[in-house]
Structure 1
Amino acid sequence: MKSTIIHNRKIYLPDEDEMRSLRASLIDIHPNARWQQDGVTVAGGNRLGNGINQLSNPWGLYVDDEQTVYVADQSNHRIMEWKSGTRTSQVVAGGNGKGSGAHQLFYPQDVIVDKATDSLIICDSLNHRVMRIFFSSLILFVIECARIVQSYPSGAPSSTCGTMMPSHGTSSMSCQPNYVIEASKYQYNSNDTIRITVRNATRSNRFKGILLVAKDESGQNILGSWSLTDSAVKVISCDGTSSYGITQTSSRGRSQIQATWYSPSTTAEGYVVIK
Structure 2
Amino acid sequence: MFRYLIVGFFVGYVIAYPEGAPEGACGNLAPQHGAPVQQNPGFTIAYSQPNNGVYTVTLNAPANKPFKGFIIQAFDSRDGRTPVGQFAAPNGSQAKIICNGSGATHTNSNPLPGVQLQWKGTPGTKVYFKATVVVEYHEIYGDIVSAEFTA
Question: What TM-score comes out, normalization by structure 2 length?
Answer: 0.67
In the alignment, what sits opposite 2:3? none
Distance in 2 between residues matched to 1:220 and 1:200, nearest whole Å: 25
RMSD of aligned Cα (Å): 2.3
In the alignment, what sits opposite 1:222? 83
In the alignment, what sits opposite 2:128? 273
Distance in 2 between residues matched to 1:176 and 1:159, nearest whole Å: 22
Structure 2: runs of 5 or more not aligned: 1-13, 131-151
Q: 29, 33, 41: which is aligned to 1:168?
A: 33
- Does residue 211 in structure 1 map to residue 66 in structure 2? no
Indicate if the aligned counterparts of 2:93 and 2:116 stay in contact, CA closer than 8 A: no
Distance in 2 between residues matched to 1:234 and 1:243, nearest whole Å: 9
Distance in 1 between residues matched to 2:61 and 2:18, nearest whole Å: 19
Q: 148, 155, 166: which is aligned to 2:20?
A: 155
Q: 239, 248, 265: which is aligned to 2:106?
A: 248
Indicate if the aligned counterparts of 2:76 and 2:128 stay in contact, CA closer than 8 A: yes
Question: What TM-score comes out, normalization by structure 1 length?
Answer: 0.38
Distance in 2 between residues matched to 1:181 and 1:263, nearest whole Å: 17
- Alpha-carbon shift at residue 225 of structure 1 (Å): 0.3
Within a 5 Å distance, the mapping from 1:103-142 to structure 2 comes to none
Higher relative contact order (CA 8 A, sep 6+): 2
Question: Identity rate of aligned residues, in percent?
Answer: 31
What code does the residue aligned with 1:253 have? P
Within a 5 Å distance, the mapping from 1:49-64 to structure 2 comes to none
Tell me: CA distance 1:178–1:151, structure 2 relative to 1, closer, same or farther (3 Å). farther
CA offset digits 1:239-273 (Å, max 9, x no partner)? xxx44210000001111210000112x534xx211
Distance in 1 between residues matched to 2:128 and 2:110, nearest whole Å: 27
Q: 38, 44, 67: which is aligned to 1:180?
A: 44
Structure 1: runs of 5 or more not aligned: 1-148
